[in-house]
Amino acid sequence: MSETINQGVQPEIPKPKRKKKNRYLLHIGLFLITFITTTFAGVLWTTNSAGPYELNMLLTGLPYSISIMMIISFHEFGHYFAAKYHRVDATLPFYIPLPPIPYFINFGTMGAVIKTRSRIYSRKAMFDIGVAGPIAGFVICLIILIYGFTHVPDIQYLLNIHPDYLQPDYGHGGMSLVFGDSILFASLKWIFVDHSKFFPPMSEIYHYPFLCVGWFGLFITSMNMIPVGQLDGGHISYTMFGAERSYKISAISFIFLFVFGVVGLADALLELGWNVGWGGWLFWALILYFIIKLKHPPVPDPVPLGKNRRIIGYISFVIFIISFSPMPIMLTISG
């Protein structure tokens, strides 16, 4: 009997720390690699040069890379700290680098993700974790955009990149990359830009690091806030409206994206000239349907959200609406 008891109360062998240390090294390594790839992307966007780069040229990519890493980090750590607050086991962010690829629209990263390793049993916890990331990232994005709109260099900056910019035949017969407007981007431009001074068109915005990153931040925020499945918007929708209503919202959102994507793709391939839709939404809709799924996993908590959280939830959907660009990236050929 005593032997059996002793076996049952043997002291626990401490778990090796190497595994935990290796996880930290992985997070730090991915962060550093993503910082490097976004710096290269920043040089490419702002100088229009594909390299090779000297050190002083790499420094021109830092405003871009620092800004984009701040937006991504605030977004993901918003999720992380909300998870920790609710005692949900979650990993640190896994940053996703995207090395430069010729002839490919590349922002140097595909963002970052955290992984929850324990189930979430509370609607409040699910809501807080879902909403904290977009709001934290949006605040930083807003600060970067306001700084970008109030610190636009004069036209000489653009002439250093495109010496022929003021020529009548500039871009004639060539392909232009045009960033699509959103309600918020257009509103901030109207509020903060001195209209008596030069301001670049949307086909040149990507040369301006703070405006480019701010635009990208709004784009990523709106993609994450679509109320579908396990996207951030899906978490918020589920906890606010319940399983049945949130699934209907998810299905309607998917159909809208799918149709908008098909119309945009047909317009681009057949050169119909509709200027409606964007083929990228079809790709994103298929990812939502087959990978992320339309239906949110059940949370076994019938207690509804309180008034304050519901107000924050509606604010988050307003952020989605004003950040959303129906045609975010357009490739046009000037006549």
What's the mean pLDDT in 35-61? Answer: 89
pLDDT tens digit string along 137-154?
Answer: 999 999 999 999 999 999
At residue 49 the predicted structure's pLDDT band, cuts being 50, 70 and 90, is: confident
What's the mean pLDDT in 198-203? Answer: 95
Q: Average pLDDT of the chain?
A: 90
Return the percent helix, strand and coil in the chain, to nearest 5. 60, 5, 35
What's the mean pLDDT in 314-329? Answer: 96
Residue 16 in this model has a pLDDT that exceeds 70:
no
What's the mean pLDDT in 308-332? Answer: 95
What's the mean pLDDT in 182-197? Answer: 95
Determine contact, residues 325/218, Cβ cutoff 8 Å. yes
pLDDT value of residue 312: 98
**Percent over 70 (pLDDT), the chain:** 92
Q: Could you give the 3-state DSSP secondary structure of residue 96?
A: strand
pLDDT value of residue 78: 98
Residue 4 in this model has a pLDDT that exceeds 70:
no
Residue 105 in this model has a pLDDT that exceeds 90:
no
pLDDT value of residue 170: 87
pLDDT value of residue 18: 65
At residue 276 the predicted structure's pLDDT band, cuts being 50, 70 and 90, is: confident
Structure tokens at 110: 């595909």
At residue 5 the predicted structure's pLDDT band, cuts being 50, 70 and 90, is: very low
pTM: predicted TM-score of the whole model, two decimal places: 0.90
pLDDT value of residue 8: 41
**Strand runs (DSSP E) across 87-168, as ranges?**
94-97, 109-113
Determine contact, residues 202/332, Cβ cutoff 8 Å. no
14-28, 193-207, 239-253, 289-303: the lowest-pLDDT one: 14-28
Strand bridging mode 94-97 / 109-113: antiparallel
Sequence-separated (6 or more) residues with CB below 8 Å from residue 34: 69, 95, 96, 97, 108, 109, 112
106-115, 122-131, 268-277, 289-298: the lowest-pLDDT one: 268-277
Residue from 47, 61, 56, 64 nearest 209 by CA: 64
Higher pLDDT, 2 or 286: 286
Q: Is 248 exposed, middle or buried (0-12, 13-18, 19+ CB in 10 A)?
A: exposed
pLDDT tens digit string along 58-103?
Answer: 999 999 999 999 999 999 999 999 999 999 999 999 999 998 776 6
Torsional sign, CA 238, 241, 243, 248: negative
Alpha-carbon distance values, 143 to 75, 85, 213, 290, 322 (Å): 14, 26, 11, 35, 16
